[in-house]
A and B are shown apart, each in its own frame.
Chain A
Amino acid sequence: QQPVQSPQAVILREGEDAVINCSSSKALYSVHWYRQKHGEAPVFLMILLKGGEQKGHEKISASFNEKKQQSSLYLTASQLSYSGTYFCGTEFANRDDKIIFGKGTRLHILP
């Protein structure tokens, strides 16, 4: 049931773009995205609630394809502060109140 994130790790130079994918084997109600810095708690980025919904937060945006049970996180013109591990959390369509996270994608931005 754990969603699958890809890639597992990404190394970018500052200013480059990245896409992180999250796919589920079960129908989804919502997808959460969080970023975690080393030694800290995860921090909320955004939630996507319905098929085709796209959200943005400065240069970080995301989309949700309900039919494909997938979400993608887009980081544009990456900054050093974007480094960290990104997690998607999924709530299934049966609304069982669980939020199940993927294994995470490690993002490292080089100056």
Chain B
Amino acid sequence: NAGVTQTPKFRILKIGQSMTLQCAQDMNHNYMYWYRQDPGMGLKLIYYSVGAGITDKGEVPNGYNVSRSTTEDFPLRLELAAPSQTSVYFCASSYSDRAPGEKLFFGSGTQLSVL
């Protein structure tokens, strides 16, 4: 099993450009999350999804969009990149049928710089 796969690993964008961060998992997990990590700020939840076709906002959703058309994929879209979106982005997934105690599996991250 590959687990949670994120692409690309690194990317430099110019201000105003758009891009999609890809996230795929092969564990048949129904819950998926996008976090961003800035130095000293911890992990901030951007968006999350509890299943195909269902998404919801997290703590810092402005400037981002997501979709979940399949169980496996959960792409994160930046429409008009801004320097404030320079960060490391982590995708995570977990299996949950509302049973307690499901841990998060994290991807290896995407380091994004907006210049």
> Which residues in A have some Cβ–Cβ distance to B below 8 Å?
1-2, 29-30, 32, 34, 40-44, 47, 49, 87, 89, 95, 97-104
Given contacts A42-B43, A87-B43, contact A98 B48 (CB under 8 A): yes
Given contacts A2-B59, A44-B103, A47-B103, contact A97 B42 (CB under 8 A): no
A-B contact pairs, 13 of them (CB 8 A): A41-B106, A41-B107, A42-B90, A42-B104, A47-B102, A95-B98, A97-B50, A99-B33, A101-B35, A101-B42, A101-B44, A101-B45, A104-B40
| A100 x B104 contact (CB < 8 A) | no
| B31 x A97 contact (CB < 8 A) | yes
* Interface presence of B108 (CB below 8 A): yes
Of the candidates A99, A103, A104, the one whose C-beta lies within 8 Å of that of B45 is: A99
Residue of A nearest to B33 (CB): A99
B contact residues around A100 at 8 Å (CB): 45, 59
A contact residues around B43 at 8 Å (CB): 42, 87, 89, 101
| B42 x A102 contact (CB < 8 A) | yes
B91-111 interface code vs A (CB 8 A; 1 in, 0 out): 000001010111111111100
* Interface presence of B75 (CB below 8 A): no
Residue of A nearest to B107 (CB): A41
Docked complex Cα distance between A111 and B92 (Å):
33
| B59 x A41 contact (CB < 8 A) | no
| A89 x B48 contact (CB < 8 A) | no
* Interface presence of B12 (CB below 8 A): no
Docked complex Cα distance between A104 and B43 (Å):
9
